[in-house]
């Protein structure tokens, strides 16, 4: 449940004393303990001002959530109460806990596996164990068995492999020659799919349960019947394809096993059969959210990395301009430029995004291009000495204005032209003579041409992220059905940060 608020001065009484007494008597028919308040698979949740007493198990559990705030909570249980952790955090991101008073018999706050971006302050603990990281602990307080067995047995993964499931799909209804609309795509029931790789398929394959899907502007080009491109068009009536993160359900490829988490090209559907598994990349579980492998550590991040370093050849102290700077690529380009010692200005389409560029991403300056009647004058104001590097994401009038403001021997990396997608009469460029007079290098590129640099990119960006030198912002919609609207929103600037669709969190 997203946007949930649980607040007030009420008391949640877990009535755990009867269970504890039963266990102390050594009885075998004691009831199974339960946690008092469990919040699972949710986003943007607030728990405030509650009092929890005598829970049979954990008092508050945050499980596979994103964006949870727990404040002003009081927890009370006897010092000898077993497995009564005050707050348990498990496989969750961006969780804040503060102004809490926790008196219990076990951990004050227990931190299970798979968490990231936790903020804990002003928490009074005792007489329990304080704040403790628990590498392997299930919600029942015992050492956990693996959630996904890779060697047989009666695990949840094994049962899933023996089952069938409904497979919803987002399909393209037909080719278009204009800006995309939601009605160009349709959510359909693809029928039942057996959760195993079909036999006799002609080669190794991997069946993936999709968790996160990426919305990227280049996908618009695949919605037209145009085959003279680096990537083929979508097929009407078939699922839209894009980058995704998923969990392997079954595999006949020796490099992948059930339970592996992978990223690569997949379908906009619940389950995808990947017949070219060599394009998949196995993700090692870490403190980095899985969805970031579609942005920060995915195609957009790699595009920013190779575009800035390989195409722009930056030098310390140079003046850098980034258009669409709050998007999936632009936000990384700007931060890389700052790390390189450059002066960085970005443009965006709302005041909210402008503030994000300056306050979150550390740009030196930013402006709302929609409020500038004269883009050439706006750039002159921000770059009185001219622009050394322009990272091009939008095209049209912005590119024309930039050409007039470039310095001699400037470089332009042409990454995209989102303003020209679906335009029947693309805007012409009038100031190309500047390429000659200022000896400007302008080059288009595709990140896949630099795939040999991908391992270096992952190492560098991961290090910067863990050191707190790079931050990343996502705009995540929930549910496969939200995909069409999320994709269409890219072209009107509705997204703030990298647009991702969460299909499932398990």
Distance, CA of 96 to CA of 119 (rounded, Å)? 5
Query: CA–CA separation, 144 vs 114, rounded Å?
Result: 14
Identify whether residues 277 and 342 lie together within a single domain.
Answer: no
| Domain region containing 180 | 165-295
Instruction: Specify whether 279 is located in the same domain as 345.
Output: no
| pLDDT at residue 109, as a whole number | 93
Same domain, 230 and 275: yes
Bridge pairing between strands 131-133 and 93-103: unpaired
500 belongs to a structural domain: no
Same domain, 103 and 82: yes
Question: Residue 58: what are its φ and ψ, rounded to 5°?
Answer: -60, 145
Q: What pLDDT, on a 0 to 100 scale, did the predictor assign at position 424? A: 64
The 3-state secondary structure of 268-299, one letter per residue: CECEEEECCHHHCEEECCCCCCHHHHHCCCCH
The answer to the question of residue 351 being in a domain is yes
Could you tell me the pTM of the whole model?
0.66
Tokens read off for 201: 């398929």
120 strand-pairing partners: 97
- pLDDT tens per residue, range 184-228: 999 999 988 899 999 877 789 999 999 999 999 899 989 988 777
Nearest to 129 by CA among 73, 70, 83, 69: 83
Q: Clarify whether residues 282 and 309 are in a common domain.
A: no
CB atoms < 10 A from the CB of 325, how many?
28
Of the residues 295, 313, 346, the one at which a domain ends: 295
Cα gap 358→344, rounded to integer Å: 10
Residues 337 and 432 in one domain: yes
Residues 317 and 276 in one domain: no
If DSSP codes are grouped into helix, strand and coil, which group holds residue 102?
strand
pLDDT at position 142, please? 36
What pLDDT, on a 0 to 100 scale, did the predictor assign at position 138?
Answer: 41
Residue 176 lies in a domain: yes
On whether both 401 and 277 belong to a single domain, the answer is no
DSSP 304: H
Q: What pLDDT does 421 receive? A: 59
134-144 tens-digit pLDDT = 764 343 333 33
Q: Do 322 and 458 sit in the same domain of this protein?
A: yes
Q: CA nearest 402: which of 442, 365, 370? A: 442
Residue 44: CATH number of its domain: 2.160.20.10
Closest CA to 37 of 67, 14, 8: 14
Q: Which two tokens stand for residue 251?
A: 């595999």
- Written as six digits, the tokens of 42 are 């949710």
The alpha carbon of 105 is separated from its chain's Cα centroid by a whole number of angstroms, namely: 37
Largest Cα separation within the chain, whole Å, is 91
| CATH at residue 328 | 3.40.50.720
CA distance 421 to 196: 39
Nearest to 431 by CA among 495, 506, 375: 375
The stretches in the chain having pLDDT less than 50 are 136-162
Residue 139 has what pLDDT? Answer: 38
Count of domains in the chain?
3
Examine the domain organization and report whether 337 and 248 are in the same domain: no
Task: Tell me: do 236 and 304 sit in the same domain.
Answer: no
Residue 216 counted as domain residue: yes
Does 504 map to a domain? Answer: no
pLDDT for 189: 92
| Backbone phi and psi for residue 272, each to the nearest 5 degrees, phi listed first | -130, 135
In a domain, 426, yes or no: yes
Sheet with 87-90, strands from edge to edge, namely 37-40, 60-63, 87-90, 109-111, 131-133
Q: Are 200 and 96 within one domain?
A: no
Question: Which residue spans within 151-303 are E strands per DSSP?
Answer: 164-172, 185-194, 206-214, 241-251, 261-267, 271-274, 281-283
**Residue 494 lies inside a defined structural domain of this protein:** no
CATH of the domain at 233: 3.90.180.10
Residue 160 lies in a domain: no
């Amino acid at each position: 449940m997203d946007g949930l608020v649980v607040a007030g001065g009420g008391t949640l009484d877990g009535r755990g004393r009867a269970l504890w007494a039963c266990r102390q008597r050594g009885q075998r028919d004691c009831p199974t303990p339960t946690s008092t308040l469990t919040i699972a698979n949710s986003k943007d949740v607030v728990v405030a001002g509650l009092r929890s007493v005598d829970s049979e198990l954990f008092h508050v559990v945050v499980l596979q959530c994103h964006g949870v705030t727990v404040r002003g909570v009081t927890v009370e249980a006897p010092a000898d109460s077993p497995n009564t952790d005050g707050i348990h955090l498990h496989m969750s991101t961006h969780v804040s806990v503060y102004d809490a008073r926790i008196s219990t018999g076990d951990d004050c706050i227990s931190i299970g596996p798979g968490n990231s971006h936790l903020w804990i302050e002003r928490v009074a603990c005792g007489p329990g164990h304080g704040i403790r990281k628990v590498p392997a602990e299930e919600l029942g307080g015992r050492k956990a068995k693996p959630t996904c067995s890779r060697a047989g047995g009666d695990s949840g993964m094994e049962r899933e492999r023996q089952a069938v499931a409904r497979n919803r799909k987002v399909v393209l209804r037909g080719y278009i020659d204009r800006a995309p609309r939601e009605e160009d795509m349709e959510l359909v029931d693809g029928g039942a799919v057996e959760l195993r790789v079909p036999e006799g398929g002609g080669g190794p394959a991997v069946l993936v349960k999709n968790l996160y899907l990426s919305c990227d502007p280049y996908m618009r080009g695949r919605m037209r019947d145009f085959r003279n491109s680096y990537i083929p068009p979508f097929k009407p009536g078939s699922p839209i394809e894009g980058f995704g993160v998923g969990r392997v359900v079954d595999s006949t490829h020796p490099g992948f096993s059930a339970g592996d988490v992978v990223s690569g090209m997949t379908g906009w559907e619940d389950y995808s059969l990947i017949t070219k598994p060599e394009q998949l990349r196995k993700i090692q579980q870490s403190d980095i959210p899985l969805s970031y492998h579609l942005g920060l550590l995915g195609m957009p991040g790699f595009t920013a990395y190779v575009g800035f370093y390989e195409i722009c050849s930056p030098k310390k102290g140079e003046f850098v301009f980034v258009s669409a700077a709050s998007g999936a690529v632009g936000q990384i380009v700007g931060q890389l430029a700052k790390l390189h010692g450059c002066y960085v200005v970005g443009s965006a389409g709302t005041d909210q995004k402008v503030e994000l560029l300056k306050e979150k991403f550390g740009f030196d300056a930013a402006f709302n291009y929609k409020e500038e009647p004269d883009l050439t004058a706006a750039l002159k104001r921000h770059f009185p000495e001219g622009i050394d590097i322009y990272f091009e994401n939008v095209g049209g009038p912005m590119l024309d204005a930039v050409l007039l403001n470039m310095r001699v021997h400037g470089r332009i990396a042409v990454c995209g032209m989102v303003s020209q997608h679906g335009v029947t009469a693309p805007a012409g460029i009038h100031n190309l003579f500047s390429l000659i007079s200022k000896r400007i290098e302008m080059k288009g590129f595709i990140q896949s041409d630099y795939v040999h640099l991908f391992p270096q990119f992952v190492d560098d960006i991961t290090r910067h992220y863990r050191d707190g030198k790079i931050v990343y912002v996502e705009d995540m919609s929930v549910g496969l059905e939200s995909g069409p609207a999320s994709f269409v929103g890219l072209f009107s600037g509705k997204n703030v940060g990298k647009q991702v669709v969460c299909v499932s969190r398990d």
